[in-house]
Structure 1
Amino acid sequence: MKVLLAALALLLTSCSSQIADYKDTTPALALDEFFNGELVAFGMVQDRSGRVLRRFRVDMVANWEGNQGVLEEDFYYDDGEWQRRVWYLEKHPNGRYTGTAGDVVTPAEGQTQGYALNWRYTLAVPVDGKVWDIDFNDWMYLLDENRLINRAEMTKWGFKVGEVTLWIERKSDV
């Protein structure tokens, strides 16, 4: 039984992407450069089977002073709901970033390598009148200096509950 569990663990970890996989890719992603100024995003939330639950637009404004950044996000959902999240970001050496927001339960920690960022945090998500702490494994991929794709897997108690996909553009190009 121990051998079977070890083999399964090895199989699962060998299938998952690691930030080091993107070390030599270009263009390099620097959050403080891409998320600076006005941006717009279009996205969707899917359940664990892939069914689209919601679609949305996000208007963003980001500003940095030194290693400290503020990212304001206004979410407009297709069902008429509006949400606001304000991220307080910090740039650290070696491509590391941390962030907090009012509904972020555990601070976000991320690492960039090449054109990718892996960002992990727990978010308080309202679902059917309750609030659930959902873990996010967030991946961002810089396409060029003005466009980025963001995919996040959402889990609860280690089980996948959904995904979020975003297309983000610097507003000057929209």
Structure 2
Amino acid sequence: MKYLIVLLSSLLISCSASIEEYKQTSPRFDLASYFNGPLVAWGIVQDYSHKVVRRFCVDIIGTWQDKAGQLDETFYYADGEVQTRRWKLFINNNGKITGTADDVIGKAVGYATGNAFNWQYTLKVPMQGSEYEFSMDDWMYMLDDQRLMNRTYMKKLGITVAQISIFFDKSQPLKTCQSNQTAARP
């Protein structure tokens, strides 16, 4: 039984995607270009059983100076909760992308290639009066120059406990969470 578990674990690890697999895909993901100016996103959080446990809308404003950027995000959850996050982002000369935010422990670190972007970080999440730390494995895929799809795997002790799906759109005229409140409301 022990050998079977080791074998299955190694197979699962070897099946995980690498950012390099997206090298020849398009349209090209450019963090500073896409997340520049206002955009809006809608998302869901699914628990370990794939049940949707939260829905939300996010208004985002990105600003950049050279290779340093800031993303101001306001999350509007269907249950009425509102959260904000301010990302400070940096693109290094070697293409490495790092980011910090108040609820991120240390730095988020990742790379973009082709139409994909992947980064990992540890996020502090308030739940029922306590704070928990989760490892985030965040994947973004450019669909076209206006739309982007995001899949995030939220893990605790290496086990995926939740998945987050987010659809970003910067098509004009831009919708906002405030002008489209039904997107996040029950």
Amino acid at match of 1:16: S
The DSSP-based 3-state class of the residue aligned with 1:79 is coil
Letter of the structure 1 residue corresponding to residue 21 of structure 2: D
CA drift of 1:23 comes to 0.7
Q: 5 Å matches for 1:136-151?
A: 136-151=136-151
Write the distance in 2 (CA, Å) between the matches of 1:39 and 1:77: 17
Q: Deviation string for 1:107-157 (max 9, x for gaps)?
A: 100111100011100110011111000110000000011100000000011
Shift of 1:2: 8.2
Distance 1:17 1:168 in 2: 22
- Equivalent-residue separation in structure 2 for 1:105 and 1:173 (angstroms): 36
Letter in 1 for 2:56: F
Number of matched pairs:
174
Supply the AA of the counterpart residue of 2:132: W
Q: Unpaired runs of 5+ in structure 2?
A: 175-186
What is the TM-score of this pair, normalised by structure 2? 0.88
What's the TM-score once normalised by structure 1's chain length? 0.94
The answer for the alignment partner of 2:64 in structure 1 is 64
Gaps of 5+ in 1: none
**SS of residue paired to 2:140:** strand
Aligned partners of 1:106 and 1:161: how far apart in 2? Answer: 21
1:38 & 1:150 partners in 2: Cα distance?
Answer: 17
1:85 corresponds in structure 2 to: 85
% identity of equivalent residues? 46
Structure 1 residue 106 displacement after superposition? 2.6
Q: Are residues 173 and 151 of structure 1, via their aligned partners in 2, closer, same or farther at CA, if it must alter by over 3 Å? A: farther
Per-residue CA shift, 1:2-49, capped at 9, x if unaligned? Answer: 865653343012221110110111111010010000000000111011
2:7 counterpart of 1:25 = no
Corresponding residue for 2:159? 159
Closer/same/farther in 2, CA of residues 2 and 81 from structure 1, 3 Å limit: closer
